[in-house]
Amino acid sequence: MSAVITTIDTLLVDLPTIRPHKLSMTTMACQSMVIVRLRDSDGVEGLGEGTTIGGLAYGPESPESIKRNIDTYLAPLLIGQPASNLNALRARLNRHARGNMIAKSALETALLDAQGKRQGLPVAELLGGARQTHLPVLWTLASGDTQRDIDEAFQRLDDRRHCDFKLKIGANPVAQDVAHVAAIKAALGDRASVRVDVNQAWDEATAVRGIAALQEAGIDLIEQPIPAREHAGLIRLANRFRVPMLADEAVQDARDGFELAAAGFSGAYALKIAKSGGLYGVLELAHVAQAAGIGLYGGTLLEGSIGTAASLHAWATLPELAWGSEMFGPLLLKDDIVSQPLDYREFGVALPRGPGLGITLDEDKLAHYSRKD
């Protein structure tokens, strides 16, 4: 008899960051995540993670709403169902619950982790097999202080931890942001690629001025300079400048990816399992991008080790990530809730080994950082 899902528990976990992380919409000093523990009738447990940025600052799901909606609406749809038919379980969730992509991603991750453990296979093998076992990882310089960011970048280069850097801008006047970025690029020179993420902070006219100056400064990639729904404006910017545009919030799923490409967008797509409702959905988007000749970038919502490992298993199945990845979330945290941290070295990270995600919880750390309420 095949295993069925018996329980799904969720925990809110708060982990402090190593320094304030400044974005256009908020500044983070702590990352809150929802940890999912899914258990099947055969005793197998699957782990998942749902994480966003700054409560409701980034999007419509908060850590608290993710937990509540899983507990109240989504978990009851799965409990008692056969654990092995992931396609049927995804369809059931999507048929009965709209949106809630981060919550669905956390559950899908737990289902895949359990399936991998049951079969003795890594999640990447369940998805068709890993083409690469070491993935490039950039670092975000987001202290807001120019000299501190320069010093941090050189330290990462010297440690052979990161050789590509992204800067979060958009919270300050354009001239101030451009001067900050240009100074860092000038200091690093050809030793590193420098990109920026505007996090939707500019209107199109402001973006024209800002991107022209950033292009002149030698910046390699501009991420989501204008609001997500302004597809036509993003296409105009992509066609106007040599520096490529990276669509992030503008592409949630495969349909978004198809519509943006069909309308004439050229550039790259930021893949995020949280945007696309899980690993299957994000790979559907990746395949649309590949068919359209659009570059890929492995994005993050600053997940901890569980969510980061899930993303890595998905990225590993792709032939290449033309723009690398930003799977540095665990490095931004002062501590971890897993027994064996991810292996960051040589400007990247190793794909975790072992069945499922290859991740084991540290129960003492989990208890210590879990929210008590």
What is the set of active-site residues?
Answer: 168, 326
Q: Return the exposure string of 85-112: e unless at least 16 CB atoms fall within 10 Å of the residue's CB, then b.
A: ebeebbeebeeeeeebbbbbbbbbbbbb
Unique residue bearing structure tokens 């097999």? 129
Q: How many CB atoms lie within 10 A of CB 120?
A: 10
Tokens representing 28 are: 């983070």
Q: Distance between CA atoms of 69 and 66, rounded to whole angstroms?
A: 5
Q: Tokens standing for 64?
A: 């608290």
Q: State the amino acid at position 365 in one-letter form.
A: K
CB 114 within 8 A of CB 45: yes
Among 287, 300, 293, smallest CA distance to 268 is for: 293
Residue 75, by phi and psi: left (phi above 0), alpha (psi -120 to 50) or beta? alpha
- Report how far residue 372's alpha carbon sits from residue 171's, in angstroms, rounded to the nearest whole number: 33
3-state secondary structure of 36: strand
Q: How far is CA 89 from the centre of its chain?
A: 23
Sheet holding 344-345, edge to edge: 134-136, 348-350, 344-345
Token reading at 81: 């169902």
Spell out where the chain has E strands. 5-22, 27-40, 45-51, 134-136, 139-141, 164-168, 193-197, 222-223, 245-247, 267-271, 295-298, 344-345, 348-350
Q: CA triplet 254, 99, 117: central angle to 5 degrees?
A: 75
Q: What letter does residue 72 receive in the DSSP assignment?
A: I
Name the residue type at position 235. Answer: I
CA-wise closest residue to 305 among 272, 324, 325, 328 = 328
